[in-house]
Every structure is written in structure tokens, then in C-alpha cells.
Chains A and B, each alone.
Chain A
Amino acid sequence: MITRCIIRKNEYYDSVFLMRVAKQIAEQKGVLQAATFMGTEKNKGLLADIGFESGEISSAKPNDLIIAIRAENEETLSSVFENIDHWLNQGLEQIGATSCRTLEEGVAFLPRSNLAVISVPGQYASREAKKALEHCLNVFLFSDNVPVESELSLKEFAREKGLIVMGPDCGTAIINGIGIGFANLVRRGPIGVIGSSGTGLQEFTTLVHRFGSGISHAIGTGGRDLSDQVGGITFLSALDALESDRETRVIALLSKPPGSSALEKLIQKIHLCKKPVIACFLGLKYQPTHESIGCKLVRTIDEAASLSVQLETGNPPSLSEKNHRELEELIRQHQTAKRQEQKFIRGIFAGGTFCYQAQQILRDAGISVYSNVPLHGNPKLPDPLHSIEHTLVDMGADEFTFGRPHPMIDSGLRYERILAEAKNPQVSILLLDFILGLNASPDPAGELLPAIVEAKHEAKKHGESLSVVASICGTENDPQNIQQQIKILEESGIITFSSSAQAARFCALLMGGS
């Protein structure tokens, strides 16, 4: 076994791209381990954790690329390092990579540009977003770890200039039929949506598509926009924009519970809006009346999608793709196969909003669950790595993604967690989500399937029957091919639903909830 690290000074690549390069290198014959990182302190710590340490690594700067490889022999190592430029340059030419280093140069290169898509590390993000606004560009700000004060200042500046800032921590948008970030390929149509969470927007837009309608625009705001500190600046601007947009005929709003003063401003705006508005505030402690809000209020994202389509077409689409008889039969089959000690549900989520919404649905059914991101009133999981009783865990939360790719891109952590949960003889149901679309894993079902099959097999060996219930968020136009994903899962006995709310409702029924 032989190890080598090289440092390339002042050569910057983003972490997602480097992860892809490392994966490709690791697939080469004779390579035992490959890591490609920028030289930040955090990354140097991660390299040390996997046994790559040297004076050279210690002295690397955030602008320096570190390539660390462990291989069976010198021949393999030399061959990999000879080809490194091939992997680092792939695709760059095709997508219009430029030598522009500053936004000024970028705008000069593409003067018709109207949007900056910013996903640099959080500490640099506000600076780039401010420059983009100064150059009259709207901003899609994917970066997280942006202080709330900076968010407010960016959004106030954008409002002054009549521009919009989607984010920070904005994962998804669809503008005029074009998906930005983690978005699904959905039909264009008359329904506009504004949402604080990326996966919430993905669920809504794919369901509208499945119900036969389409999306005019889906505008992400970032999770804090409707906090009292930010005051819903992007929500309000987006609502103005959708109201004046000729294509949009119905507007849906999706968010966690807004702050009280932000909600007040939003209500005023909704009352003045001339188009029908539907709102879904997940996890709201109380349910205000439709009249007090001035719009139709629903409890879940699938209800928001269904009602939006109904308002547009006059026909209520069916929420479930399975009929009552099928569902009853499935429940009967699964309940009778259980051993008495099998009583707990374990939800292992990639989508934070799906985890949150499932908690709400289970709570409405009288089932309280532990979570690392608990709904108001639910107990917090003391150790996110270990489930207790009923547990729903958001594996996209910061504690899991520090120095690791998000589970929508890489299933590794969820894979291990599924196997761990299945070892507990008290576990009865595994609830999972699979998120398709642009920039997501090319085969999420295929990646997790071996773990699910092994989990079910282990349970069977011990005389248990593990029910695996999954939602699949996607469309037939997505790069992953939703039908193929469903087929992979259903052939292995996994019960699938096209909405995470439906999957959670089914679990509640399976658990005998009200």
C-alpha cells in the first residue's frame, strides 16, 4: 500500500465537483482511497481523520487543492496522478466555464444576464450576492451559514432595487420552466408557488405535474424569510411578482410557521391579492380560520397541490394513486405478519420538510415521535445517531452533512442507518423518501436498495416482518426516470407513494393511529 498527497496552489474547485472527481478516482483499479479537498481547516481535519496527514497538507490554504490518494502500488498512483487533469477539466468547456474571476468580468462577458446563481461557502456568500445586486442581477443564493443580519441587509437592498433574493439556503426554484438547483422537470402551467424549503417546492411542483396541471414559477425564499427578523421580504416581493405575472392564475404559499409580525404583513398582502391564494404552514400550533388569513389554508403539501389544481381546473384530483381496497388489503397483510414486539417506526429522510411534515401527520394521528428536528411539542432525539422508540430523522441536517455530501446526492449515510435500524427487533416500519430531479443522485433507489433488501432479509431471518414505505418525489421527465425508480423499489416489496404525506398517512394507519 502506498500513499501520496499533492497540493496544487491557487486552484479552486467546488466541493460537489471535487466529490465527483474523488469518486471517479476511487473507482480506478488499484485505488484504495481517494480524497480531493480544498485546503480549509475543516477539510484538513477530515483528511487527518482518514489518515492523510503531512506538513504539506498542514500548510495548504483555502485556495489550494489537495489530492490525497492511497493505492495498492506505485504504478497505480503514477497513472492516477498523470490523468488528474482529465478528471479536473471534464465538462468545464461544454458548460461555458470562463476565465472570469470577478462578477464585473462576468457581467461584461454576459451583459444580458439577469440572475446570479451563488453557491460559494457561506462566509463569502453575502459578499458575492451584494455585488450581484449592485450589478442589477437577481440572486439565487444556495449557500447556507449566512448570518441573518446579512440576509436582511441583502433583501432590503434587493427590495430597494426592485430585485429578488431567493435564499440564502435556497435549494430549489423553477423560473419560466427552467429548474435551478435541486428542481424537477415539470410541465409549465398556471400555478405559481412560493416556498421556504427546497424539498417542499419539489413535492408541490411534482404533484401539480402528476395531477395534470403545471407550474408558472416556483420561487424559493430560504428557510428564514418568514421569520420576524427578515419579515418575509422575499415572500412579499414574490407574491407581487406572481400577482402581476400573466401566466399565473393560482398562487400557493408553503412554509413552516411564520413569525407573528411577518405573518401579519403576509396576511395584509394576501387580502389585497386579486388571484386565489392557498397557504400551507407546516407545523402550525393552531389552525387560523380561512377568513382571518384571507386565503384557503391546508395542512399538507399534497393538499396544497391538489387544491391549487382544483381551483384552476374545477376538478379535485385524487391524492392517492392506490384505492381504498388496495390500501386496506396492504394494511391487513402487513399488520398480520408482525410479531408483537415490533411496534416502532423509523423514518430515515433525505428531505427535511418531509421529515417535518411526517411528524405533523403522525401527531395528528396521535403518534408522538422523536426527531433531530422536532416539530413543536415533539421530543428532541438526544443523540441523532441513535433512534429511540418512534423516531424520524432528517439526515440532511447539519450534524450529518458536516464535511459530507447531502443525502440527496450521496446515499452512504442513509445506507448505514437503514442497516442499523433493521438490527432492532422492535422496529416495524421503515419510512423513506427518494428525491429525483436535477443535481440529485442519478439512481437514489438503486443506491439504497441493497441496504433495504438486507434489512428485510435480516428481519425475516429472525421471524420479523419489516414494512418499508417510501415516497418518490419526481416526474417522468426527470433524469432518473421515475417509473424505473418505482419499479426497482416495488419489485423488492417496498410500498411506494408519490407524495411523502401519503406515505406518512399510510404509516399512521399501519401503526393503528387514529
Chain B
Amino acid sequence: MNDKLKDLLKNGPIAINIGIFNFAESLKIQGVEVIHMNWTPPAGGDPELMDLLDQLL
């Protein structure tokens, strides 16, 4: 078991939220250290461009 999984179970989540803002909000209400990412669809949401980008990275 990875230390990060042990840490998650022993000490609870410290979270990076990607997507629905409310999920970060509900974690914060429970006292969790959380950041909400300013996520946008990669390559402007263009699937072909996204594939190309993935091949380059």
C-alpha cells in the first residue's frame, strides 16, 4: 500500500478538486484542506487536438 493511501485512510483526505465546485465546498464545510482547480477542457475541448497533445506529452 502506497504511503498516500495509508495517509488518506489514517488522517483523512487532503484534496484537490477538479470539476464540480460543490464537492470542494462540501469538503471545506467538513474542515478538509481542499483546493478547487481552475480546470478547463484541454485543447479547448477539441478531441483531435487533445489526442495530439497527449501524444506530444
Contacts and interface: CB of A to CB of B under 8 A. Distances in A.
A115 B19 contact: no
Given A110-B33, A175-B8, A175-B9, A117 B23 contact: yes
A423 B3 CA distance: 58
Contacts of B20: 14-17, 119, 142
A120 B13 CA distance: 19
Contacts of A91: 21, 25
B48 interface: no
B55 interface: no
A61 interface: yes
A97 B22 CA distance: 11
A247 to B, nearest CB: 9
Contacts of B39: 12, 101, 120, 128
Nearest to A110: B35
Given A16-B22, A117-B17, A175-B8, A100 B2 contact: no
B26 A14 contact: no
Interface string A107-139: 101101111111111011001100010001110
A179 interface: yes
Contact of A12 (B5, B32, B41): B41
A123 B47 contact: yes
A103 interface: yes
Interface in A1-56: 10, 12-17, 20, 40
Interface in B1-43: 1-2, 4-5, 7-30, 32-42
A94 interface: yes
A162 B5 contact: yes
A428 to B, nearest CB: 38
A244 interface: yes
Contacts of A113: 14-16, 35
By size class, the interface of chain A is 35 or more
Contacts of A179: 26, 30
Contact of A138 (B4, B34, B45, B54): B4
A159 to B, nearest CB: 10
A240 B10 CA distance: 14
Interface string A165-180: 0000000000111111
B19 to A, nearest CB: 3
Contacts of A177: 12
A99 B38 contact: yes
A288 interface: no
Contact of A92 (B2, B21, B42): B21
A439 B21 contact: no
A438 to B, nearest CB: 4
A127 B50 CA distance: 10
Interface in A273-321: none
A128 B18 contact: yes
A15 B41 CA distance: 13
B35 A106 contact: yes
Contacts of A98: 35-38
A143 interface: yes
A103 B22 contact: no
Contact of A95 (B5, B25, B50): B25
B4 A120 contact: no
A136 B27 contact: no
Nearest to B26: A438
Given A62-B41, A163-B5, A439 B36 contact: no
B41 to A, nearest CB: 5
Contact of B19 (A14, A97, A101, A138): A14
A121 B10 CA distance: 30
Nearest to A99: B38
A114 B27 contact: no
A95 B13 contact: no
Given A97-B36, A106-B35, A114 B4 contact: yes
A103 B5 contact: no
A231 interface: no
Contacts of B37: 98, 100-101, 103, 105-106
B9 to A, nearest CB: 6
B22 to A, nearest CB: 5
A377 interface: no
Contact of A120 (B2, B19, B27): B19
Given A103-B37, A110-B33, A175-B9, A124 B16 contact: no
A184 to B, nearest CB: 11
B40 A16 contact: no
A30 B38 CA distance: 33
Interface of B: 1-2, 4-5, 7-30, 32-42, 44-45, 47, 50, 54
Going nearest first, the 5 A-B pairs with the smallest beta carbon separation are: A62-B45, A119-B19, A162-B2, A176-B12, A12-B40
Given A16-B21, A40-B45, A127-B54, 17 more contacts: A17-B20, A17-B22, A63-B44, A98-B38, A101-B39, A109-B35, A110-B14, A114-B8, A117-B15, A117-B16, A119-B17, A119-B23, A124-B50, A142-B23, A162-B1, A175-B12, A244-B1
24 contacts: A12-B41, A17-B20, A91-B25, A94-B25, A95-B28, A95-B34, A100-B35, A109-B35, A110-B33, A114-B5, A114-B14, A116-B18, A117-B15, A124-B50, A127-B54, A128-B18, A136-B2, A137-B16, A162-B5, A176-B9, A180-B15, A241-B5, A245-B9, A438-B29
